[in-house]
Structures are given as C-alpha cells and as structure tokens.
Amino acid sequence: MATAPPEWQLIRASRLLDGTGAPPVERPTVVVRRGIIHGVYAGDAFRADWPAAAPVLEYPGHTLLPGLIDCHVHLTLPGDGTPFETTVREPDGTLVALAMRNAQTALAAGITTLRDCGSMRDTSLELRRAQRLGYAVLPRLFLCRCPMTVTGGHCWYFGGEADGPEGVRRMVRRLVRAGVDYIKIMASGGGTVGTISSRPSYTVEELRAAVDEAHRMNRRVGVHCTCAAATRNAVAAGADHIEHALFLTEDTGHQRYEPDVADAVARAAAVTSTLCVGDFIVQALRDKPGAGPEERAAVERWRRMNDGNLDNTRRMRAAGVRYVAGTDAGWRYTPFDGLVRELELLAASGARPVEAIAAATSGAAAAMGLEGEIGTLREGFAADIIAVPGDPSADLGVLRRPSMVMLGGTVVARH
C-alpha cells in the first residue's frame, strides 16, 4: 500500500515531453503539490516558491512524460487466449480479482488511466469501490459498466442487452444510475459467437435515442464498429468516439476501405486504434509449441488482417481522423502492459513518435472529456508522471521500461 506523499515534491530529469506534441523541455523540474502539478520549469528558469526542504526525485538520463492512458481495455478478461465464452462463466468475485490483477499490471507498466470498454455486470464498478476504500492502488478507472448491445449481440453475456429506442433510453438511464462515466454501445457484431462483425446490429434510430439520452445526462458515447455501415450509423447518430472503425466485409477477413466513412469520422469523432490485438494473436499462435497446419493458416489470416488494419489506419489518419491509443487488453492474447506495442503500430501507420505519445496522453484525455485534468504535464494537471530511460521521441520502445510511476503525486512503482 502506498503511503501519503509529502505536500511538496520536485522531480528532475534530462528532458520532459508534456504529452501535447510540444517541443521537449530540457533539464526540467516538475514541482508537485498535493498531487497536482504546481509548475514545470526548464533548466534553472524558475524562482522557487516552494519549501527548500521539499524532497527531490532525480532521474538523470531520463524523460518525464504523463502517465499513459489505455483507451480500450476489458478488465474482467484475462488476455491469455482463454475463450471469451469460458471466462464469462466465472463467478463475479473471481472476475473482480482478475480485474484487480489486470489493473495492477497496467499501473506497474506506467499506464495510470484505463478506459474499460465493457466488463461483466457490476464487476468494474465493484473494483472501483474497492479502490476508493483503499483496498488496492489502481490506475484511474473510466467505466461504462457493460456495453449496451442488441439481444444476443456482441458481448451480450456482460448484461447490457437493450432493444428499440425506448429500451436503449432506459438502459442508458440505468447505466447512469449505476455510476458509469460514459456509455459504450455495440453497433455491429464482433468476436462473440453467433454475432456478425460485417453487419450493423442497432438501427440508426436506436443509436440516435441512446446518444441523445447519454448526452442529456452529460455522458459521452463510444461505439464499437467493425464494418463501414455501423460506423456510418454511429456518426449519423452523433457518437463521440468510435472503437476499432474496421471495414470488414461479408468475405471474412477482408476489408474494403470507404473514403466517405473516413471523411465523416474525421469531422465527428475520435477513433480508438486497437491495432495490437491481431499482432499479439500472431505472436501467440506462432510461438505455440506443436503448431499444425490449422494454426499456420490462422496466423496467415491474421497477418493479412493486420496489414489491412494498418493500411486503413494510415488512410484514415491521412483523411484527418484523430486516433487515440487502445489495446483491447484482456481480449484474446492482448496483455495489460501492451500499450507500447500499440504506439509502435500507430507509428507504423505514419504517426511521428510524439504524435503516438499524444494518442496515449493528451489526445486520449481529450477524447474522454478529461482535458485539463490528466494526460498533460502542465500546471494544474494531476501529477500522473512516468520517468523512462532515454528519449521516447527517438525510440518508443523505452516506454516499456519506466523507472518510476507516479499516480496523483504518489510514487506507485519503481523499477
């Protein structure tokens, strides 16, 4: 358990990236007071207005950055290849324990905020209750409880089935009453057995009713879309955020890019990338001992799929779409400390390293409506800070080895 930090703390390093894509600050001093950033100063350019005895954390050779934000995780899934249909049969208590382990894994890796995109029933809210009671030190949790889905739709096991404009309005009200931070909706099928990824599930009318009710209650809406028609519906309904934004066609494993969809999304919503999911699947299946022809065929299928996703992301970015970084941790083989892989894939789609970092810091915070609170190292923001050896604007890989993780002014991990 972390102990309360001193009122004033100073952190010094070789450089600082504030998360916005601004030029680095050389020889920075970050002054933290009561968990909030009091000031960020370059070199000796400050007039100290803090106690001389304030403790100083020194990180020579390191870069300071905002704690990272993973915009798409599933806290109650293990990310070890266990079939979804097996995990969802576990008792809720077991799933809360799993969620706690997953959240701690993320925090140790420098991920100080998790946006959960759907967990079993009330388990994510119960985890947050435990966090608030001080039973565990966990990242900030941004929760939707469970995704709203059509009867029998993607992730229906989680408990969010609702149909028809009145039904979805009622579900939004229930979710808000339960304490969610935002609303997640499945607008197409997905990896759930019996659902169809290449077709929309909800009608535009249903989506419009849900978005309208969510906005009335000051909640943003993230919409899972794996085909172009679903994305078109979500944008038409006023969604704030699209998850995946794939272009799957009826021909399984193939995608057909549609420029008008990219243009519509660029004007309306942020997109969570989730590029690493397929990458981790390929890695896991390839490394499996005794892989037969079936596994090899699956690896090839996923490779083609990953190439298609990367290509579509490149084109969407060129069309002006704002990407934020999310891993889909928990799903299939995606680990809770896999966010750096996602940033590397965003870079492979054409983002400069500092743009990839913004997608997991200031950009992610803005997409969640938390701009001004987290995701940037500037005065007034929460002191969620990581120190990594070397320079991540030259090599994103160094983000895998944070020497220090600070959450709200408390050092929660040292490596």
| Residue 5 vs 147, nearer CB to Zn ion | 147
Q: How far is the CB of 329 from Zn ion (least distance, A)?
A: 9
Rounded to 10°, the helix 339-348/276-287 angle is 110
Please calculate the CA angle 313-315-318 and round it to the nearest 5 degrees. 110
| Residue 328 vs 342, nearer CB to Zn ion | 328
Phi/psi for 48 (5° steps) reads -60, 120
Give one DSSP letter per residue of 335-393, joined into a string. Answer: -TT-HHHHHHHHHHTT--HHHHHHHTTHHHHHHTT-TTTSSS-STTSB--EEEEES-TT
Length of the chain: 415
Rounded to 10°, the helix 259-268/293-318 angle is 60
| Residue 117 vs 235, nearer CB to Zn ion | 117
| Residue 65 vs 77, nearer CB to Zn ion | 77
| Distance separating alpha carbons of residues 299 and 285, to the nearest angstrom | 7
| Residue 77 vs 388, nearer CB to Zn ion | 77
| Residue 117 vs 148, nearer CB to Zn ion | 117
| Residue 279 vs 328, nearer CB to Zn ion | 328
Q: How far is the CB of 7 from Zn ion (least distance, A)?
A: 40
Compute how many other C-beta atoms are within 10 angstroms of the C-beta atom of residue 208.
18
Six-digit token pair at 384?
């969620």
| Distance separating alpha carbons of residues 64 and 194, to the nearest angstrom | 46
Instruction: Tell me the CA distances in angstroms from 111 to 52, 62, 151, one per residue in order.
Output: 31, 17, 34
| Residue 240 vs 328, nearer CB to Zn ion | 328
Instruction: Match 């979804």 to its residue by tokens.
Output: 84
| Residue 163 vs 328, nearer CB to Zn ion | 328
Bridging pattern class, strands 220-225 and 182-186: parallel
Q: How far is the CB of 274 from Zn ion (least distance, A)?
A: 7
| Residue 234 vs 413, nearer CB to Zn ion | 234
| Distance separating alpha carbons of residues 199 and 365, to the nearest angstrom | 30
| Distance separating alpha carbons of residues 19 and 74, to the nearest angstrom | 25
Contacts with Zn ion, residue ranges (CB under 5 A): 117, 328
Instruction: Tell me the CA distances in angstroms from 178 to 37, 129, 240, 369, one per residue in order.
Output: 32, 12, 21, 20
| Distance separating alpha carbons of residues 47 and 111, to the nearest angstrom | 32
| Distance separating alpha carbons of residues 220 and 234, to the nearest angstrom | 13
Q: 265: left (phi > 0), else alpha (psi -120 to 50), else beta?
A: alpha
Compute how many other C-beta atoms are within 10 angstroms of the C-beta atom of residue 91.
9
